[in-house]
Structure 1
Amino acid sequence: MPLLVSNYSWQQTKTAVFLSLPLRGVCVRDADVFCTENYLKVNFPPFLFEAFLYAPIDDASSKAKIGNDTIVFTLYKKEAVMWETLSLSGGRNSENIFLGKLKEDCIPAPRSVGNIKINFTPRVFPTALRESKVAEEEEWLHKQAEARKAMNTDIPEFCDLKEDEKNPEWLKEKGNKLFATEDYLAAINAYNLAIRLNNKIPLLYLNRAACHLKLKNLHKAIEDSSKALELLTPHVADNANARMKAHVRRGTAFCQLELYVEGLQDYEAALKIDPANKIVQNDAEKIRNIIQGTELKSYDF
């Protein structure tokens, strides 16, 4: 039985859907793509991806590019509307309807169609949703309060510092000012000291990642962005902007290392947080074009 692929990502505009499907460890020549206006299948043994699309696409003008260990689809919608999901989730009945449509169009039904995995999104009632959000926000506030208390001032070299210099928030602001003057090494030193005092503040890692990006310390930028994302939990409105920046900074570092698939995944994660961000939308489109081989790699994010 084939292994169903679930670690894909997708974004959309009113006129198109962009789907990224990883092909890690699989010979791209073995990938078999089958597409109609309502159905998409990618078979790359032992893996299988199938979707009964939410709405019809123009399969004649849609395209796929296989390369860099991924398949990137650009699917053009027949109707300019936003989709609620990538694929229908109507259970077995939806499957039967589309199998009938495939037969009507004289297209042989895929042999492995019985392996389709139908995902149901449980309905969350508004009251329960509000209670859940309040609990997450309270957890985040409590976590931040505890982080501010987690001071480590017992390190010998800190004894000669002034009181404000032992304050991670003061050091963070000093680092921010140094960053604004493009003194990135000095800013990193300020953030380093702040982290030694308190290693639970996510913005210290997020801001240090920005410095490392400027200095082309790309692996360090990835490490700091990842640490920031680790600390930016639970996911609430108060930390949404920081999470978006962490994904963009890590995605930028990946792309500058020419790891475009990983970079695109971070940019798409950022767009899930801030779907209307035009800059991130445009950069994500550039990355897709690079993966598809339609754009040169010599541009800055």
Structure 2
Amino acid sequence: MPLLVTDYSWTQTDSTVCLSVPLKGATVRQVDILSTDHYLKVHYPPHLFEAFLFEPVDDERSTAKVGDGVAVFSLPKRTNKVWEQLMITTNDKGKKEIRERALLKYQEKLSAQSTSKVKKGHAEKKYALEKMMKLEREKRDSIQKIKDKEREKTTAELAAWQLRQKEKAEEEDQLKLHSQRDVTSCVIKSAPTLVAFAFLLNTFLHLDQRGDSEAKSRRKQEDLPAPRLVGNIQVTFTPRLFPTALRESRVPEEEEWLKKQAEGRRSVNADVEELGDLKEEERNPDWLKDKGDKCFVTGDHLGAVNAYSLAIRLNRKIPALYSNRAACHLKLKNLHKAIEDSSQALYLLTPPVAANAASRARAHVRRGSAFCQLQLYTEGLQDYQAALKMDPHNEALQADTQRVRDSIQGTAADP
């Protein structure tokens, strides 16, 4: 059975109730709070505080502050009047009905929040997609403008070059024609013999061929395009230790998880003097874990607990040791110890990433089983549902979750 918290304190005004619940050394991560308009629950294993409120409060405007070893709640009243007491006086059956109504209302609230979150996520994805499409369209338009501008520039340069070439060719043809006329007239006037005329004609042809070759050489040099510019493009890729893409990953959580794993492999905080009589292999947490696993398989649950406990003394950062010891405590009916070890394993398995999803699911199932054996079905259902989110296709887990849900609704026997 859980330890009920009785050393709470409360004050009130006409419009607000202030409630203070001590946490008895629990961390913020270990505190589970459930609040509705008629019911308030604060659970931090193995302690439990329940308040069946005297009058309804406004759950939407209620606030909670957890820290410095205390949880402080501010509950606005629905009606402005002074309460005679904080809680109503009722029997166990009435408390069970209030508790069930509060759980159903809380589940409906979570469902509405989940639906709202999904719609918001779709809207954000749609906005991001439209924004990305707009940016890509603007980028394509900008590139097309640059291409059109370069095409126009190149076309203008080509037209100007063709015009220059045409003008040069016309000038050369006119010069050639004038030269032929001058030579012919000169030969007729001054060459008395055919020998002189033949010599001059041969000279003219030689000069004409040399002029044509020089003109062709100049044309070839002008036809050559300008040399292209060269350059290098550096491409770098982001190193990834996880298989997910960088845009889909949660980098801070993954880095924190890797840091905890590295600390867990390095940290050995057992006292050397106390371990002086142990063998060399018995000082290795991994060897002790394997030994505990073998003892558990053979049914030696007490021996497995001893092996896991010694491994935990050597290294308190390995979550599998706490989770496996919780399974042993379940077999030995040490239910509160099973809850403590499962909670510690879940604390070490943070942040939640894909690499530790299976381990977190096992820890949730073991803690949920311990809660159900203590007849705390509401807390057990929460753990089973958390495990089912990580492994939604597990048929055995689905059946266990449904049995716990039926037990809460009173339609089935104790699971």
Bin the TM-score by the shorter chain: 0.5 to 0.7
Q: Which residue of 1 aligns with 2:250?
A: 132
Alignment of 1:283-294 (within 5 A): 283-294=400-411
Higher helix share: 2
Partner AA of 1:281 in structure 2: Q
Q: 1:70 aligns with which of 80, 100, 107?
A: 100
Alignment-derived partner of residue 34 in structure 1:
none
Matched, 1:236 2:356: no
Secondary structure in 2 matching 1:283: helix
| Residues 172, 204 of structure 1: 8 Å contact kept | yes
Rate the CA distance shift 1:29–1:128 in 2: closer, same or farther, 3 A: farther
2:38, 2:98 within 8 Å by CA — same for their partners in 1?
Answer: no
What residue ranges of structure 2 are gaps of 5+ in the alignment?
Answer: 1-14, 18-32, 41-49, 62-95, 106-110, 129-243
Query: CA distance change for structure 1 residues 21 and 252 in 2, over 3 Å: closer, same or farther?
Result: farther
Change (3 A) 1:280 1:129: farther
> Over residues 100-150 of structure 1, what are the superposed CA-to-partner deviations in whole Å (9 max), with x where a residue is unaligned?
xxxxxxxxxxxxxxxxxxx945847797643425x4333322321111110
Counterpart-to-counterpart distance in 2, 1:68 and 1:267: 22
- Give the distance between the partners of 1:89 and 1:148, measured in 2 at CA: 38
> CA deviation digits over 1:73-106, x for unaligned, max 9?
59xxxxxxxx99754469xxxxxxxxxxxxxxxx
- Contact kept, 8 Å, 2:267 with 2:317, in 1: the verdict is yes
Q: Which residue does 1:214 correspond to in 2?
A: 331
In structure 2, the CA distance between the partners of 1:46 and 1:130, relative to structure 1 (3 Å rule), is closer
Amino acid at match of 1:251: G
Q: What per-residue deviation string (whole Å, max 9, x for no partner) do you get for residues 189-229 of structure 1? A: 00110011111110000000000000110000000000000
Match of 2:307 among 182, 185, 190: 190
1:152 to partner: Cα distance: 2.5
Q: Using a 3 Å threshold, how does the CA distance of structure 1 residues 68 and 159 change in structure 2: closer, same or farther?
A: farther
Partner of 1:59: none
Gaps of 5+ in 1: 9-19, 31-43, 50-65, 75-82, 91-118
**Alignment deviations for residues 157-186 of structure 1 (CA, whole Å, 9 cap, x no partner):** 311222211000110110000000110000
Amino acid of the structure 2 residue aligned with 1:130 = E
Counterpart amino acid of residue 175 in structure 1: G
Cα deviation digits, residues 18-57 of structure 1 (max 9, x gap): xx99943465998xxxxxxxxxxxxx544369xxxxxxxx
TM-score, normalization by structure 1: 0.63
Question: Offset of 1:69 from its aligned partner?
Answer: 1.5
Say which of 179, 183, 194 aligns to 2:296.
179
Secondary structure, aligned partner of 1:199: coil
* Separation (CA, whole Å) in 2 of partners of 1:26 and 1:170: 47
Bigger-Rg structure (1/2) = 2
Structure 1 Cα separation of the partners of residues 329 and 395 of structure 2: 24
Contact kept, 8 Å, 1:28 with 1:69, in 2: the verdict is: no
3-state SS of 1:158 partner: coil
1:1-301 matches, cutoff 5 A: 23-24=39-40, 25=50, 27=52, 45-47=57-59, 67=97, 69-71=99-101, 73=104, 86-88=114-116, 120-121=120-121, 123=124, 129-133=247-251, 135-297=252-414, 299=415
The whole-number CA distance in structure 1 between the counterparts of 2:313 and 2:399 is 37
Number of aligned residue pairs? 221
Distance 1:239 1:21 in 2: 36
Q: Is the 8 A contact 1:244 1:270 kept in 2?
A: yes
Q: What amino acid sits opposite 2:278 in the alignment?
A: L
TM-score, normalised on structure 2?
0.47
Structure number with greater CO (CA < 8 Å, separation at least 6) is: 1
